[in-house]
Structure formats: C-alpha cells, structure tokens
Amino acid sequence: MIEQVVIDDKSGFCFGVVNAISKAEEALSGGGTLYSLGDIVHNGSEVRRLEQMGLVTIDHSRIAQLGGQTMLIRAHGEPPSTYAAAQKAGVEIIDATCPVVARLQKLVVEAFEQMEKVGGQVIIFGKRGHAEVVGLTGQIGEKAIVVESIADLERVDFSQPLFLLSQTTQSKSLFEQMKEYVLSHAADPAKVVIRDTICGRVSGREGHLREFAASHDAVVFVCGKKSSNGKVLFEVCRSANPNSYKVEDASELDMAWLAGCKSVGVCGATSTPLRLMEEVATAIRNNG
C-alpha cells in the first residue's frame, strides 16, 4: 500500500527552458506561426502542446525557405553559420539561447584563441551531435575535440597545451574524473587550463537527487527520450536507489514496479514540465 507520493520540488524546467518557452508563447499569443529550429525542449508532450498553439519544428534545411517568417533559436544555442543563413534568407530571429550557454560560447572562442597562440587543443566534454555541442564547436569552425567518456581522451595529444571545458548539462562527477585524467596524463600540467562550465543549477541537482532518491522506496523519473540531461540525472537516481524507473509520461507507468512500496518519489529533468510530474504522481496515487 503506497502511503506517500512526493514530487521533488527542485526538479523541472531550468531557467533556460522557461525563458525559451515563455518567448515562444509570447510570439504565438497573437496567432500565426513560429518556427523552432529543432525541438524547443527535449520533451515530446511539451512540444506537442506548443505545436497546438502554432509552433512548427524545423531543421536547418528549411531556413532558406522561410523568408519573411520568424524563427526561434532554442536554449541550446546555435553556431554563427545559422545566424548567417537566417540573415541571408530574410528570416527574423527570436534568440532564446540560455545565458549560461551564450557565455560558454564566448569562452570557447577565447579558449581557442588562447590555444592557437601556443599550439594547443580545446577539449569539450559533451555529447557528440547534441545541439549545444554543435553550437559550441561551430563557434571555432569545429576545431575542438569532443569527448563523451574517459576512453575518448585517448585521442588527445597530451604533449601539447590543453583547455578543457564542458557542455552545460553534463555530469559533474564525470567531469571531475576527466579533469583528473587530463592533469595526470599531461606532459606539463602547468599548460593545462580547466574550466568547469557545467550549469550550477544543473550540477546542484545531482547531490539533491541522490538524497531524494535514497529517501524513498522507489523513484519514478519523468523525462523525454531525447533529453541528455535526463539521462544523466536518471543515472544519479538509479545509483542512489536501484528501484528507479524512467517514463516519458503517466501512460508509461507500470504499477508492478511499485509493488510493496510505501513511499514513492517523482522527479524529472531540466526539460520536464511540472504538470507531467503531477500527472504521474496522480496516477500513482489513484492506482496505488
């Protein structure tokens, strides 16, 4: 018998996602169409809600056909080539790049310029092909090594100066492991620059989620299948509580997971709207 279902009060949309969705809602409030370059948020349910308001999700191949239309650049940011393509096509841009990502884009440029002077290399810890990482590497003409794991660091030439940064939503603990590996393998650690560029609001959730997950008999983690941050935070939950399960919405809930549980925690990624966590919690209460 489930006695308690608790929604984590620190889960849900981060500022960057809230900002992007707010700008989209404002642009759509008067009717008409707004084009989003890629999913505005990695959550299918939220994307469908905004599409019903007039949002149309496109890829880069459509920019040239949008003359006179308005296009939103989501929180993940974009490389300079995207802005140039939009300007050439006569497309108005609503820029919803997260301020944290925008600062990181500038830092990547500074890091590249610094390394170029000394024959060094920029390393970005992130997911290859992820929108934010594409935007980061695009700032410097793809002249960075993107690493997803410690094993990827074997591609690095440790005899040269190095500058290590991270995608904003990566795992804090794995970044620390990367840092130690780079410093221990560098020919001259004094020529290694390391900047922890993981978003503080995201990294701060890891420690909290460990405590939250460990305090319940079971955890249901709500996030979209495309969410990079969701993958990271779900693994944090599962490491603290093996009885952790991931769903995109309440329809994927299997009450057999929660058999014998008295306390169930519901939490989510930075791309998970509160309403979805509430729907999952309600479903658990009604069926438990």
Residues 90 and 110 in one domain: no
User: Are 254 and 206 part of one and the same domain?
Assistant: yes
* Nearest alpha carbon to residue 130 among 42, 49, 199: 42
Residue closest to 236 by CA, chosen among 281, 199, 272, 267: 267
E runs forming strands in the chain: 4-7, 34-37, 55-58, 70-73, 92-95, 121-125, 145-147, 162-166, 192-194, 218-222, 244-247, 263-268
Same structural domain for residues 190 and 104? yes
Range of the domain at 229: 4-12+201-287
pLDDT in tens, 257-272: 999 999 999 999 999 9
Note the pLDDT tens digit of each residue in 130-169.
999 999 999 999 999 999 999 999 999 999 999 999 999 8
What pLDDT, in 10s, does the model give residues 22-75? Answer: 999 999 998 899 999 999 998 988 999 999 999 999 999 999 999 999 999 999
Q: Pairing mode, if any, of strands 145-147 and 218-222?
A: unpaired
Task: Output the domain CATH number for residue 246.
Answer: 3.40.1010.20
pLDDT of 100 higher than 90: yes
- Same domain? 260 vs 228: yes
List, by residue number, the catalytic residues: 132
If one counts the domains in the chain, the total is 3
Tokens describing residue 250: 């309440």
Separation CA 174–CA 191 (nearest Å): 22
Average pLDDT over residues 236-254: 96
Instruction: Give the whole-angstrom CA distance, residue 227 versus residue 42.
Output: 5
Residue 257 identity: W
Residues 65 and 129 in one domain: no
- For residues 168-189, one letter each, b for 16 or more C-beta atoms within 10 angstroms of the residue's C-beta and e for the rest, the string is bbbbbebbeebbebbeeebeee
Listed residues 42, 72, 97: the one ending a domain: 97
228 and 252 both lie in a single domain: yes
Residue 166 neighbours by CB distance under 10 Å: 27
> Cβ contacts of residue 44 below 8 Å, gap of 6+?
224, 225, 226, 248
Token code pair at residue 10: 């620190």
Q: How far is CA 164 from CA 107, 124, 142, in A?
A: 11, 6, 15
Clarify whether residues 243 and 228 are in a common domain.
Answer: yes
Last residue of a domain, one of 133, 162, 194: 194
- Distance (Å, rounded) from C-alpha 90 to C-alpha 68? 6
Supply the CATH number for residue 86's domain: 3.40.50.11270
| End-to-end Cα separation, the chain, in angstroms | 6
Polymer length in residues for the chain:
288
Task: With cut-offs at 50, 70 and 90, classify the pLDDT of residue 229.
Answer: confident
- The verdict on 114 and 180 lying in the same domain is yes
